[in-house]
Amino acid sequence: MKMGGDMDPIIRVENFTAAYGGSVIIDNISFDVCPGEVFVILGGSGCGKSTVLKHMIGLYAPAAGKIIIDGDDISTAEGEDRLRILKKIGVAYQSGALFGSMTILENVRLPLEEYTDLSPEAMDLISLMKLKLVGLSGSENKMPSELSGGMQKRAALARAMALDPLILFLDEPSAGLDPITSAELDELILRLSRNLKITFVVVTHELPSIYTIADRVIMLDKRIKGIVATGKPQELRDQSDNAWVRQFFNRQVESEVAA
Amino acid sequence: MENTLRAINTVSLNTEVIEEGALKLIIDGRLDSNSTGKMWRESLLAVDKYSPEKVILDASGVSYCDGTGIALLFDLQLKQIQRGGVFEILGLAEEFQQLFDQFKPSEFIEAKIEAPEPSNIFVNVGRQTIDIFRGIEANISFLGEIVVALFYAMLNPKSVRWKDFFITSELIGVNAFSIVALVCFLIGLVMAFQAAIPMQQYGAQLFVADLIVIAMFKELGPLMTAWVVNGRSGSAFAAELGTMKVNEEIDALTTMGLEPVRFLVVPKVLASFVMIPVLTIFGNLFGLIGGLVVMLSLGFTIVTYVDQIVSAATYVMLLAGLIKSVVFAFIIAGVGCMEGLRTKTGASAVGDSTTSAVVIGLVLIIFVDGVFGVIYYFLGI
């Protein structure tokens, strides 16, 4: 069961408000994410998707509300408590955010070096296996600057997976990838979700990817600064009574919906 | 719940020699990134101890196996294949078996992680030499580009981005005024003070004024101003253009048909040409004021000090210093912009460029100052 309800949520966002410099971006939203669920945050440009994600991973403190990760509030946790929460999550950033002075293998290896007691050979093997999973075998000795944007994104995903976290946050993982690589990435997300019960929180615009991977989506709308729809993507596409939501899922321009 | 399961990090290993040359490893419990490290060492030790022809891994007791656990099982398989043996895995739950099956040993046996090349003094010296010559070549080429762009700007003044010129003039000139004034004032003050003590023995304290004006006009005024502006603005030029290079803004300019040198470098060079000599004049003035403070403390009057300065200084002396400052301006702006445009990719690249801009600028300024010293000597200035 992945639709919430009979399972304790692994992430709980309660009455969350985000604001930059007095300007409210997200106003009082609440939602839950269940263990093993692939949860997609979507919406139009500038609606605050990445803002929600950055608050969920503890980069910013909410203006109001709580963000509970596996029982602990990441927005108020400090020191060891915060570190304990951060070890449960992995984040793949939109730009990759790989460390430019390290090889791809060293980037993936870094969390293992810092947080495990594995031997160097074991760390190398795990890093190579993660890179294999994201289709980057053979690129382990390259520097990030030698990789294309799409390859950097995949390397970032490998780094995010290095410690096999409970929750993986992915910011636009398929943007800029070719369709085959994008489909492989979707397959990987589904496999990890099903086999290891890893929870995914994905911010994306890619509709084919959303239909393939998402167990549930929330859709943000900047006009109401909140959630305009929640549910399975196929249901929202076909049955939503909100015209803008249908328009989004059917890739229609406003005039077509009006007609 | 998952977090509850994760809290129980118990995993155990049992070994059993089941027949001649066959070792059975029985792993029970939870294999995750927290518990696998110890198990990894123990299982490899067990296999190394018996060196069996066949390893049978009984994973029926494995309750959870994440990527790290899969890596352990895979490593056991890999090592057994590498020693020419047989590996069999039994009872691994379907969902973990799917993850395990994604990896083929042959792909990892061939994978090789490159070790950093051992340092070789001859190779390093060779590389550095090549880099130096390439740097000189690039500098000469860039110098040519700037000169051509400046000539083009002279012939087509409308092509210059005058708005950028004025903004840069403010940044390198007006905003640097206070620091240049302070540094030159202190230089004048210290120099006068240090000179006054020995000159007192010969009753020649009045000639401290000559020393100050000659040193400031010919050498220290232009030099100290150039050093301050180089550290302040040369690095800023490199950082600005370097960041633009990293953000692909330079590429965007190029694809829009806008020559980066004309668009970005020329306004900076022109602003430096104007502002650095002006700053030098103010630097000279504040150096003289520094000397005046010492002279007043020695009992001389302002009129005496100014008379002495007027008799010692010449317009040629002042002009000689200002000509130097124009050349220094070209070095500061040129090197700063060149290093910025040569920025490589990566987080440290902009830092490298600013460092290079400041260091190369300083060295060139001193070198050119020496050349001017020789030329002026032969010209009798």
- Those of residues 105-134 in B touching chain A at CB distance below 8 A are 107-108, 111, 113-114
Cα(B213)–Cα(B289) distance, rounded to whole angstroms?
10
**Angstroms from B36 CA to nearest CA on chain A:** 8
Using the predicted structure, report yes or no on whether residue B250 has a pLDDT greater than 90: no
Q: Identify all chain A residues contacting B77, using CB atoms and an 8 Å cutoff.
A: none
Tell me if chain A has a CB within 8 Å of the CB of B71.
yes
**Residues in contact with B1: Cβ distance below 8 Å, sequence separation at least 6, in sequence order:** A7, A8, A35
Neighboring chain A residues of B347 at a CB cutoff of 8 Å: 99-101
A6 vs A110, more confident: A110
Name residues whose C-beta falls within 8 Å of residue B165's C-beta, 6 or more positions apart in sequence. Answer: B267, B270, B271
Residues on chain A bordering chain B, Cβ-to-Cβ distance under 8 angstroms: 7-8, 10, 35-36, 70-71, 88, 99-101, 105, 112, 115-119, 121-122, 124-126, 128-130, 132-133, 137-138, 140-141, 143-145, 161, 163-164, 166, 191, 194-197
Q: pLDDT band at residue A145, thresholds of 50, 70 and 90? A: confident
Cβ separation of B66 and A35 shorter than 8 Å? no
Q: What's the pLDDT score for residue B111?
A: 67
Q: Dig out the tokens for B167 from the structure.
A: 């903004």
Give percent above pLDDT 90 in chain A.
49
Q: Spell out which residues of chain A touch residue B114, defining contact as CB-CB under 8 Å.
A: 141
DSSP state of A5: S
**Whether the Cβ atoms of residue A202 and residue A41 lie closer than 8 Å to each other:** yes
Please name the residue of chain A whose CA is at the shortest distance from the CA of residue B109: A125
Handedness of CA A131, A133, A138, A144 (dihedral sign): negative
Q: What is the per-residue burial (b if ≥16 Cβ within 10 Å, else e) of B70-87?
A: bbbbbbbbbbbbeeebeb
Residue type, A187: E
What share of residues in chain B are helix, strand, coil (percent, to 5)?
A: 75, 10, 15
C-alpha–C-alpha distance, residues B177 and B278, integer Å: 10
Mutate which of B9, B33, B245 to disrupt the A interface (most A C-beta within 10 Å)?
Answer: B33
Distance of CA B224 to the CA centre of its chain: 24
CA neighbor of A244 nearest in space, from A53, A49, A42: A42
Q: Confirm if A34 and A10 have CB atoms less than 8 A apart.
A: yes
> Which one of A8, A117, A144 has the shortest CB-CB distance to B1?
A8
pLDDT digits over B21-32, tens only?
889 999 999 888
For residue B3, the model assigns a pLDDT of 41
- Rounded CA gap, B31 and B125, in Å? 50
| Chain B residues whose beta carbon lies within 8 Å of the beta carbon of residue A116 | 33-34, 37, 68
CA distance B309 to chain A (A): 56
Least confident of A140-144, A145-149, B121-125, B373-377: A145-149
| Whether the predicted pLDDT of A165 surpasses 80 | yes
Q: What is the pLDDT of residue B9?
A: 56
Q: What pLDDT does residue B185 have? A: 97
For residue B103, the chain A residue with the least C-alpha distance is A129
In angstroms, the separation between the Cα of residue A52 and the nearest Cα of chain B is 23
Give the pLDDT mean for A172-179: 83
The answer to whether B99 contacts A196, with C-beta atoms less than 8 Å apart, is yes
- Token pair, residue A23, equals 């300007």
Determine the pLDDT at residue B277.
97
Of B110, B178, B356, nearest to A138 by C-alpha is B110
**How far is residue B18 from each of residues B15, B73, B77, B352, measured CA to CA in Å?**
9, 20, 18, 62
Interface ipTM = 0.75
Given A99, A126, A166, which is nearest B68 (Cβ)? A126
| Contact at CB, A101 and B6, closer than 8 angstroms | no
Q: In what order do the strands lie in the sheet with A11-20?
A: A23-33, A11-20, A64-69, A72-73
CA–CA dist B191, B215 (Å, integer):
9
Q: Is the pLDDT of residue A119 over 70?
A: yes
pLDDT greater than 80 at residue B126 = yes
- Residues from chain A that touch B35, judged by Cβ atoms under 8 A, are none
Mean pLDDT (chain A, rounded)? 87
Q: pLDDT at residue A133 above 60?
A: yes
Q: Are the beta carbons of A196 and B95 separated by less than 8 Å?
A: yes
What is the nearest CA distance from B297 to chain A, expressed in angstroms?
55
Distance from CA of B188 to the nearest CA of A (A): 45
* Residue B333, pLDDT score: 95
For B343-363, the pLDDT digits (tens) are: 987 778 899 999 999 999 999
Q: Which of B71, B74, B113 is nearest residue A141 as measured by Cβ atoms? A: B113
Average pLDDT over residues B144-168: 92
pLDDT band at B307 (very low <50, low <70, confident <90, very high): very high
For B4, name the nearest residue in chain A, comparing CA atoms only: A70
| Predicted local confidence at residue A253, as pLDDT | 65
Residue B4 pLDDT > 50? no
Residue B74 to residue A144, Cβ atoms within 8 A: no
Separation in Å, CA of B93 to nearest CA in chain A:
10
A195/B98 touch (CB, cutoff 8 Å), yes or no: yes
Q: Distance, in angstroms, between A226 CA and closest chain B CA? A: 30
pLDDT at B236: 96
* pLDDT computed for residue A255 by the predictor: 53
pLDDT in tens, A225-252: 999 999 999 998 888 888 888 888 887 7
The answer to whether B72 contacts A122, with C-beta atoms less than 8 Å apart, is yes
Query: Who among A99, A124, A195 is closest to B99 (CB)?
Result: A195
